[in-house]
Structure 1
Amino acid sequence: MRSMIVAVLLAIFLQSAPARADWLQASSDHFVIYAQDSERDLRRFSEQLERYHTALALLFNVTGPAPSPSNRVSVYVVASMQAVRKIHGGDNKYIGGFYLPRAGGSLAIIPRVDAAKSAEDVSMVTLLHEYAHHFMISANSMQRPRWFSEGAAEFFSSSSFAADGSMILGRPALHRAMELFYSPDVKVADLLDPTNYDKRARRNYDAFYGKSWLLYHYLTFDAARKGQFARYLSLLDKGMAQRDAAAEAFGDFDVLEKDVEHYLMRRKINVLPIGSERLKIGDIVIRPLSAGEAAMMPVVIRSKRGVDAEAATSLVAEARNVAALYPRDAAVFSALAEAEYDAGNDSEAIAAADAALALDPGQTNAYVQKGYALFRRAADTEGDRVAAYNKARAPFVALNKRENDHPLPLVYYYRSFAEQGGEPPKLAIDGLVRAVELAPFDFGLRMNLGEALVRLDRKEEARTILRPVAFDPHGGGLAERAADMIARLDKAPSGQDAEAEARLDKAGTELAGS
């Protein structure tokens, strides 16, 4: 009797418990979203992101075709912030979502978004902030100070979306309110003169982001300073130092500080509404993932994030288990190929990629993973290196025929020559230039092209390509290397010294996507 009661109660619980939504994919001009959500909410979310892109393009006067399918931003929506932090790794307790800019594979990983409350949703704010960075470096690769980049991203990330398709930009960044009032203060002078900010003794989180938003908002809307913002950017573009450009454009920093603080105390601030008639977007296609794709999604998300050797070994075992259950699913074997490659199993990666392509020749990632594995083999070959690299190039050539504007085939065409130690032909250099045009947000790729141009003594072009890398505040060692290269270019009238040549030859093999 007791077991019967337990069974009845369990049946009632299962019937009343909310069913977990199936995995869906929303495909649009600029984004591919993967989420366990209702079709209605996912469509609304996708529409909002497309309208956001359209608004940025309108404001920055950017026109042009949509990116190739593989060069769109993929958004993976996971269960919670805790899941985001686990996937991200490290101990940063402030991570609410993150974005990785990669040629042919940019992605964002965020918790579930409440599209009905987008302006207050932390996940949405995080995603809009990161996409603003992605868009602005794509729209204009000129040097921009950190405060400007972060202030602009904060300005746009607080956008709201109305049901009628309209938007409001420049709303108060409420998520920065506590920071502005209670975090250690940051002065306007600290923003406009980074050397001044770097001298500050600080141990905890300060008001840098909040003050950057405030200054950007003030300079955008304050009538008394009309034209100063444009003047400031123009001076920077001409090569003037950050502090000097700010002083000439804005005048006395102490006066500007008082004006900005007074602006913060206003009861109302200006916003920028954009009507729905100006925010036209393309079609959005939503489809359910196959059972195999859905089962493989945890593997896919962690693979796309990137794994170390220990995690790769665990992940490939999980991927093999899923592949054993779904032997006729091409997407499953494409994901398996990536897991095998990450685990160092080149033969298995090639076999899985071939299995995926036999089932579906349109599996883009299968071409990429097979190419990666063959390139790693070619680098280790002791036989005919020319033949090995010709073979390695083949999957990327096939991918290029299917998707002409995918940047990775262009990168790996160049790499197939550079790794052999010879001078790549002009066609390969032109392909690398085109890859940067397609994916200007990938700073590793920019570095590759900059190094190639230095070896060809195309110094001015190299400086233009390398400057955004050198001035990336989050660039770490890559930024330092780019800044060092620019400094060497400025010192040497032509060519490079022997030490620099040797370093660049070594760096030339460290190409994007590897």
Structure 2
Amino acid sequence: MANLKSWLVAAVVAWALPAPAMANWLEASSAHFVVYTDDNEKNVRAFSDQLERYHAAIALLTSSEAIIPSPSNRVTVYVVRTEGEVRKLYGEGNKYLGGFYLPRAGGSIAIVPRVKAAKGDLEWSMIALLHEYAHHVSISSSMMSMPRWYTEGSAEFFASARFDTDGAMEIGRPAMHRGAELYLAKDVSAEDLLDPAVYEKHRSKTYDAYYGKAWLLFHYLTFHKPRAGQLDKYVKLITSGKPQREAALEAFGDFKVLEKELETYLTGNKWKYIKVGSSALKVAVIQVRPLSAGQAAMMPVQIRSRRGVNTEQAKELLVEARAVAARYQQDPAVLAALAEAEHDAGNDNEAIAAADKALAIDPGQTNAYVQKGYSLFRLAESAPDRDAAFRKAVAPFVALNRIENDHPLPLFYFYESFAKRGRDPTELAYRGLERGLNLAPFDVSFRMTLALEQIRRHALADARATLLPAAYEPHGGPAARAAQRLVARIDADPKWDGAGVDAIMHPAKADDETSDDAPKDGAGDRTSNWPGVAEPADD
């Protein structure tokens, strides 16, 4: 988490929006997305329509249609005004940040600068969002994580898109936004992509051509007829457990030959792409509504809360949240957002009170149940009667489950209500945890919790399968390293009884140094850096 300066006045000024009368915050709700933007209805409706068309195109081309998410498990897209604002929200990032995505059970978000939903070539910010959503679909539809070059190359492939005026989509177009990178940035070879150990030996400390070269390799293997079938072979070898270098050599052959072919391909005159007809893109109904005056006023607080705050930031943000709530005391959405700000600041009783007030006005405020549950769980840790306290703490999640049966968080916290009391989870709780991961396979915390329970049950083969996507998560981080250590331990002793699992999960700090700091419950973040199906078409 970024350590921002604690100047309260500066913080309020920096994040303040125009007066409510000038703002036009809208919510666009569809099957897979919820979009919040200070924009006009025509643009947000067109933007949401494009996102749903994009989802439909990816699902069709990859045969990866996942379960339609419950309302709270959709991706929420917050559209802010500029890339500068995106970077402020992210915190300590790099100057090329164009948008970021946080995958979390019941709360995945993307934050991007304002997007103009135009036909034809895409704006920078739209490419960033499409790239991140391609990751989301990939993780949601597969239990196996692929090598980094593949995940980034495929995301670039799908994000290099175009929305036609007739409602059709073009996928896999030339990634013009990577042109300068491929020609001017530090070179990355095919061998660098296919063998991470080689890449790490001379990895550049500055911006290199990794993303661009990953796109080029994926595009080449997809469309170059002499290499037809090689990409599928590679995927099968990887999923069977073959090491990355060995799988690549067996599927693609000599790396130097492949590199020369890529150089020739890059300078070619024709680029193939896939055109998906409008009739093949089934888009659900999009509902657009203006936010209430209170919700609009609270939106800067909500965005920062959902992005994640540290203790110092939470205390600063709470001042703003309370000021808004004082003006809109009967708005249940405002009160739910206040409950979140109170919880983040460590004020559990105040968070519970705000959540209860919100639910008294509107029992459908799902975030109020979540925040009340979070605070009750935290209070239960130090309660005199922990057993009774955790039974009480799970009640809001049980109530939420009745309202939204496929919300993953109630399934997680029902399991936790046993684990926190030191009791063996019931079979129902265990199966609920499995179901929760199926609903939110992108949440690393969920995945690690299930894997540890499987280890406890001596179901090592199941635990290994659960851990693999986390172990080979391309963006790495402490959870990935912990998963790698657990997989190695299982492989070393298939009859391991789980002894010493805590030491494997939490080694001495010197052995697991990291600057990663997850801002919220759930997984860490992903960032993007940017300077009818027809036959493949040419461009």
TM-score, with structure 2 as normaliser:
0.89
Which residue of the partner structure matches residue 234 of structure 1?
236
| CA spacing shift, 1:24–1:460, aligned 2, 3 Å | same
* Amino acid aligned to 2:313: A
**SS of residue paired to 1:273:** strand
Give yes or no for the alignment of 1:394 onto 2:400: no
* Amino acid aligned to 2:492: K
Which residue of the partner structure matches residue 136 of structure 2?
134
Gaps of 5+ in 1: 1-18
Show the 5 A alignment for 1:66-465.
66-116=68-118, 119-381=121-383, 383-465=384-466
| CA spacing shift, 1:406–1:208, aligned 2, 3 Å | same
Q: CA deviation at 1:498?
A: 3.5
| Residue deviations 1:173-201 (CA, integer Å, cap 9, x gap) | 11110010011111101111111111115
Counterparts of 1:370 and 1:503, CA distance in 2: 33
Counterparts of 1:65 and 1:23, CA distance in 2: 29
Counterparts of 1:218 and 1:505, CA distance in 2: 42
Q: CA deviation at 1:316?
A: 0.9
The structure showing larger relative contact order (alpha-carbon pairs under 8 Å, at least 6 residues apart) is 2
* Amino acid aligned to 1:225: R
Counterparts of 2:487 and 2:203, CA distance in 1: 29
Q: Contact conserved, 1:455 with 1:504, CA < 8 A, in 2?
A: no
| Residue deviations 1:314-356 (CA, integer Å, cap 9, x gap) | 1111111111101110000000000000000000000000010
Q: CA deviation at 1:495?
A: 3.3
* Amino acid aligned to 2:414: Y
Counterparts of 2:435 and 2:134, CA distance in 1: 23
| CA spacing shift, 1:276–1:434, aligned 2, 3 Å | same
Q: Contact conserved, 2:77 with 2:109, CA < 8 A, in 1?
A: yes
Counterparts of 2:506 and 2:175, CA distance in 1: 46
* Amino acid aligned to 1:262: T
Counterparts of 2:297 and 2:221, CA distance in 1: 49
**SS of residue paired to 1:110:** strand
Which residue of the partner structure matches residue 536 of structure 2?
none
| CA spacing shift, 1:118–1:299, aligned 2, 3 Å | farther
Counterparts of 2:377 and 2:504, CA distance in 1: 22
Counterparts of 1:503 and 1:250, CA distance in 2: 36
Q: CA deviation at 1:117?
A: 5.2
**SS of residue paired to 2:296:** helix
**SS of residue paired to 1:386:** helix
Counterparts of 1:103 and 1:497, CA distance in 2: 27
**SS of residue paired to 2:28:** strand
Q: Contact conserved, 2:72 with 2:407, CA < 8 A, in 1?
A: yes
| CA spacing shift, 1:391–1:238, aligned 2, 3 Å | same
Counterparts of 1:473 and 1:44, CA distance in 2: 32
Q: Contact conserved, 1:20 with 1:36, CA < 8 A, in 2?
A: no
Which residue of the partner structure matches residue 12 of structure 1?
none
Q: CA deviation at 1:222?
A: 0.5
| Residue deviations 1:201-223 (CA, integer Å, cap 9, x gap) | 52211111000000000000001
Q: CA deviation at 1:367?
A: 0.1
Counterparts of 1:89 and 1:493, CA distance in 2: 42
Q: Contact conserved, 1:24 with 1:36, CA < 8 A, in 2?
A: yes
Q: Contact conserved, 2:455 with 2:498, CA < 8 A, in 1?
A: no
* Amino acid aligned to 2:420: E
| CA spacing shift, 1:460–1:75, aligned 2, 3 Å | same
Give yes or no for the alignment of 1:479 onto 2:480: yes
Q: Contact conserved, 2:482 with 2:505, CA < 8 A, in 1?
A: no
Q: CA deviation at 1:360?
A: 0.4
Q: CA deviation at 1:96?
A: 1.0
**SS of residue paired to 2:438:** helix
Q: Contact conserved, 1:408 with 1:513, CA < 8 A, in 2?
A: no
| Percent of residue pairs bearing the same amino acid type | 57
| CA spacing shift, 1:218–1:305, aligned 2, 3 Å | same
Which residue of the partner structure matches residue 10 of structure 1?
none
Gaps of 5+ in 2: 1-20, 508-517, 524-539
* Amino acid aligned to 1:56: I
Q: CA deviation at 1:513?
A: 4.9
| Residue deviations 1:235-284 (CA, integer Å, cap 9, x gap) | 11111111111111111111111111111111121010010000011100
Which residue of the partner structure matches residue 468 of structure 1?
469
Which residue of the partner structure matches residue 8 of structure 1?
none
Q: Contact conserved, 1:378 with 1:389, CA < 8 A, in 2?
A: yes
Out of 372-381 and 87-96, give the one that drifted further: 87-96
Which residue of the partner structure matches residue 15 of structure 2?
none
Counterparts of 2:343 and 2:64, CA distance in 1: 38
Would you say how many aligned residue pairs link Structure 1 and Structure 2?
A: 492
Q: Which has the larger radius of gyration?
A: 1
Out of 490-499 and 70-79, give the one that drifted further: 490-499
Q: CA deviation at 1:302?
A: 0.3
TM-score, with structure 1 as normaliser:
0.93
Q: Contact conserved, 1:103 with 1:442, CA < 8 A, in 2?
A: yes
**SS of residue paired to 1:287:** strand
| CA spacing shift, 1:206–1:335, aligned 2, 3 Å | same
